[in-house]
Chain A
Amino acid sequence: MSPLVVGNLSHSFGGVRALDGVSLQLQAGERRAIIGTNGAGKTTLFNVINGQLALSSGEIWILGTNATRLSVHRRAALGLARTFQVTSLFPHLSVLHNMIVAVAALSRFHFVFWRPVTAHAEIVARAQDMLAVWNLWDYRDQPVANLSYGVQRQLEIVLALAGNPKLLLLDEPMAGLSASETHLASDIILNLDRAITVLLIEHDLAAAFRIADRVTAMDQGRVVAEGNAG
């Protein structure tokens, strides 16, 4: 079963056709990079797959389910997670609080209001484990707004992994990072479990080719080329 199949996707912003008949199919465990100039429609494609933007036409199948008309949170429940081009965290909450919110999202306790979070040891333990595994433990009590940009980008990826996704969309995870931070971020992505299929937008072509198995090039809302990265 293909984790992601999109067929003939179109989306317009007023008179501007941001996506024009985009079709794409990913294999399980694949790392696919999407490259293209600014305005090529890459982020719009992510927003449409994620459900943040409505489709003008086309179909989206996520992990074997027709997700075309599903809301954002229902797509997440299918196993789709994403990061954003502009860092999208909870800036006034601590790193641990961010992590707990992310871990609780798809747990069976997400709508419990009669017991404190701390009574759900498995949520707190998993949040703490993830921070330790991804080298964020030392920041756990700091408000996210106080973190460096590089650490925030790292946390952005870790939050997306909290719900054990099967399909991960990474929107320019290396944007704005220093050379060493870029190396660290690409290592994080390279070390992801192959059970997770990754679709990645990246402007840093060296990093994109280092991570991806296949590359899709977009221009003016269309797929113009596709091939192996090697």
Chain B
Amino acid sequence: MHSLVSRLVAIGLVLLLAVVVPTLSVYQIELVTQMLIYAIFAMSLDILLGYTGLPSLGHAAYFGLAAYATAILSLRLHVPFALAAPARIAASVVAAALFNLLALRTSRGYYLMITLALSQLLWSLAVSWTELTGGDNGLPGLERPRLPWFPWLLTSASGFFYLTLFVFLVSTIALWVFVRSPVGYALKGVRENEARMRALGYAVWQYKYFASIVAAFFAGVAGELFVYLNGFVSPSALSVTVSAQVLIMVLVGAAGTLFGPMLGAVVFVLLQYVVSTYTERWLFVIGIMYLVIALYAPQGALTFLWVRLRRRTRRVV
């Protein structure tokens, strides 16, 4: 019953988005589109952090790499969209496969540091390899493709919103199935107690490696949407700031749930939008918000609200 209600609410929200958002201004449509992209990105990190217990401070590497691969294949190498489609996300997956051969030799805090170091490696490459990446100026001028199978033109804000909503839905359903699959159950076991998982017969390293590749895949999906939304990519997409931002989205929302990171992404983009109209130092305000949540709702805002709601419901009953 509870599950049915949740599903109906989710379907209702999606329908509401699909109907209401295209009636907004272009700026507001792009804001909602950005929320959906960040939601995919945050959910992808949550597979690592919330479900597997691997705190990464380098997740922007996969997001930015897919964005750069998209821009380079299109602008520098003029590869047709359809041909380049698998290659763009494959860039993130291959990077994760290589990085994690090294990073997964460590755990917890050390994993965080080594993922930070590896992502900084890509960031410095993006800054210094000017002929390929455009250096600090990045790669501008990327045009959205025409998708013959898609009923809306992607050049319009609402058309691109619908594409993003479609990809968001597919990603969410795929991740929903993934975290409820035997592998998803095992990842939670790995997060809780690696020694016990090994004793039960799980090859723990393989599960962590697979989780890191799945997380990179969806970060790549988000990165590709991001570059088409902006029509431009710069080294900031690979920066530690973006890695920290997505980490905050997951922690603020509630790690270990799929809906929590979505909520974190929405709150983050909204705050950025509202606060940045008053001050350029919007990251400072977000930092304070994160501190407050870390102190008073360390399980994340979603869990905090959920517990409060249940207490209130019990009192009423």
Contacts and interface: CB of A to CB of B under 8 A. Distances in A.
The judgment on whether A and B are partners is: yes
A77 B201 contact: yes
Interface in B196-211: 196-204, 210
A112 B196 contact: no
A152 interface: no
Nearest to B256: A92
B196 A93 contact: no
B201 to A, nearest CB: 3
Contact of B181 (A50, A81, A114, A162): A114
Interface string B159-191: 000000000000000000110111111101100
Contact of A101 (B177, B189, B195): B189
Given A114-B177, A115-B177, A81 B196 contact: no
Nearest to A123: B182
A104 B193 contact: no
A198 to B, nearest CB: 16
Interface in A60-84: 71-73, 76-77, 81-82, 84
B182 A111 contact: yes
Given A90-B192, A92-B192, A104-B186, A72 B199 contact: yes
Contacts of A107: 182
Contact of A90 (B189, B199, B201): B189
A120 interface: yes
A159 interface: yes
Contacts of B185: 97, 100-101, 104, 117
Q: Which of A73, A88, A120 counts the most B-chain CB atoms under 10 A from its CB? A: A73
Interface centre among B185, B201, B203 (most CB of A within 10 A): B201
Interface in B5-54: none
A82 B182 contact: no
Contact of B199 (A81, A92, A116): A81
Interface of A is mostly: loop
Contacts of A50: 199
A82 B199 contact: yes
A104 B182 contact: yes
A207 interface: no
Contact of A113 (B181, B188, B201, B203): B181
A88 B195 contact: yes
B182 A73 contact: no
Contacts of A52: 195, 198-199
Contacts of A90: 188-189, 192-193, 196
Interface in A111-131: 111-118, 120, 123
- The listed residue with most A CB atoms (<10 A of its CB), out of B178, B184, B203, is B203
A91 B178 CA distance: 22
A89 interface: yes
A112 B188 contact: no
Nearest to B199: A82
A116 B201 contact: no
Contacts of A73: 198, 200-204
Contacts of B183: 110-113
Contacts of A134: none
A93 B192 contact: yes
Given A105-B202, A116-B177, A163-B200, A110 B189 contact: no
Interface string B103-127: 0000000000000000000000000
Nearest to A118: B180
Given A112-B183, A113-B178, A76 B201 contact: yes
B307 to A, nearest CB: 13
Nearest to A144: B192
Nearest to A106: B201
B244 to A, nearest CB: 25
Contacts of B197: 101, 105
Interface of A: 50, 52, 71-73, 76-77, 81-82, 84, 88-93, 97, 100-102, 104-107, 109-118, 120, 123, 159-160, 162-163
Q: Which 6 A-B pairs have the closest CB atoms?
A: A76-B201, A90-B192, A113-B183, A72-B198, A116-B180, A105-B200
Interface of B: 177-178, 180-186, 188-189, 192-193, 195-204, 210, 214
Given A90-B188, A114-B181, 4 more contacts: A76-B199, A88-B195, A89-B196, A116-B177
21 contacts: A50-B199, A52-B195, A52-B199, A71-B198, A71-B203, A72-B199, A73-B200, A81-B200, A90-B192, A91-B192, A92-B192, A93-B188, A93-B192, A104-B186, A110-B183, A113-B178, A113-B210, A117-B181, A117-B184, A120-B182, A160-B199
